[in-house]
Structure 1
């Protein structure tokens, strides 16, 4: 969602971080937001882009984290639209891009010049420097995380239960659900009558591939076969 003072928040189907430290975003071309930005001209308008990270399984509270990007929102000049669309499509071929600057245009392409970034989850909120944002790289398991968490929830309750044994005793009385998975560890959500609690179980060291991830999870589970089944020595 992108929000501007005095206008209801607007869904933006494309929000792409560019290498110059700005976001390319699309907004409905016939809406109040597009008209407001067009009227402002080169000065642009102050705006906040809110990105919500939802858990891939059905939790009581589905939101895992939020990111707010504040900055100045301006139109992209007509002469630059096609080139910018091609640049975005090269790494994110979003179908919504086809509805920008076309005969049946539904969206206008804009650029949000970043002034500040704040990331928040159950542990609190923290400011993120634009340089750190640009230097960040996707987690090696981000494309697979949703499927893996769904698989854990539906088919491997035993794994979740063994991970839950690492939790403080007071939290084990709730319903433990898989919440997140990345190169640094596993996150669990505990749903109980006293409220929901998120707990992170860190790996001993970051992992970079599926083999390392499997071993790290077995360590957390307390599995004696850290490298899989071993042949018996005679």
Structure 2
């Protein structure tokens, strides 16, 4: 009888979806224009990305002028570690395709759709053609990137993923909370990091061990050593889906016998 192999790490598509959900920096690049920061980059159900660009900038004007054909562009998203590491970039995602103007009549409905899943404050700065924005904020225009290829690169190398596979994947259930959890782990529970570090290969235990990542499949540690950085994943026995399961899985990794925490003894 065969048994299914338990995943010990997110799939490439899951890693990309999580990076999209928490990416701290994103840029749109087109030929002839300096890379343009975009505060909103939201994957739609049809496989395209809704993106905001400065409404009064050159890029927005170029997209309108490109008409129905659109223009070639690359959206680069950077997934930064939540701690001040020596090398803070955990992964880069490149989405290549054609950039299209969103007609004014479609802007309002698309904004509502995005806000339901991603209530980014920058959405309030998207206008329908006016030159002003409230509180002196930069006005943004909404454009759409039709994806042709998706590539992710991290310390393990680069890999592409099909658009259908990307749409079928889900972001990690803890990805939006990961940053604050790892920051708290580093600042208030260093003993947990030290216990986890005991699981590292012996040659790596002499370096500075930092929390690097946390997902439903396990914990990632970064070892900063004199000969460079080393990333190590400590997998859970099985994937977890909620905070209770996550807490128990981390205790197992630590070798703690009290899976549900310390309990008062009955008298």
Same fold at TM > 0.5: yes
- Residue 164 (structure 1) aligned with residue 197 (structure 2): yes
Q: Pick from 41, 55, 70: which aligns with 1:15?
A: 41
1:112 aligned residue (135, 145, 151): 145
SS in structure 2 at match of 1:7? coil
- Separation (CA, whole Å) in 2 of partners of 1:69 and 1:95: 23
Structure 2 counterparts to residues 144-155 of structure 1, below 5 A: 144-155=177-188
Separation in 1, partners of 2:266, 2:53: 65
Higher share of residues assigned strand: 1
User: Hey, what's the Cα distance between the residues in 1 that align with 2:260 and 2:178?
Assistant: 22
Distance 2:117 2:73 in 1: 25
- The answer as to 2:95 corresponding to 1:65 is no
- What pairs with 1:46-57 in structure 2 (closer than 5 Å)? 46-57=72-83
Number of the residue aligned with 1:36: 62
5+ long unaligned stretches in structure 2: 1-26, 134-138
Are 1:210 and 2:243 an aligned pair? yes
Shift of 1:227: 4.0
- Structure 2 counterpart SS, 1:137: coil
Structure 1 segment 71-82 matched on structure 2, within 5 A: 71-82=97-108
Instruction: Pick which of 127-136 and 170-179 moved more.
Output: 127-136
- 3-state SS of paired residue (2:112): helix
Q: Secondary structure at the match of 2:34?
A: strand
**1:187-231 deviation line (CA, Å, top 9, x unaligned):** 001111111111111111001111211111111112233343468
Residue 179 of structure 1 corresponds to: 212
The equivalent of 2:229 in structure 1 is 196
Q: Distance in 1 between matches of 2:151 and 2:169?
A: 15
In the alignment, structure 1 residue 131 sits paired with structure 2 residue 157? no
TM score, norm. by length of structure 2: 0.83
Which runs of 5 or more structure 1 residues have no equivalent in the other structure? none
Equivalent residues, number:
234
Shift of residue 45 of structure 1? 0.7
- SS of the equivalent of 1:56 reads coil
Give me the CA root mean square deviation.
1.8
TM norm structure 1: 0.94
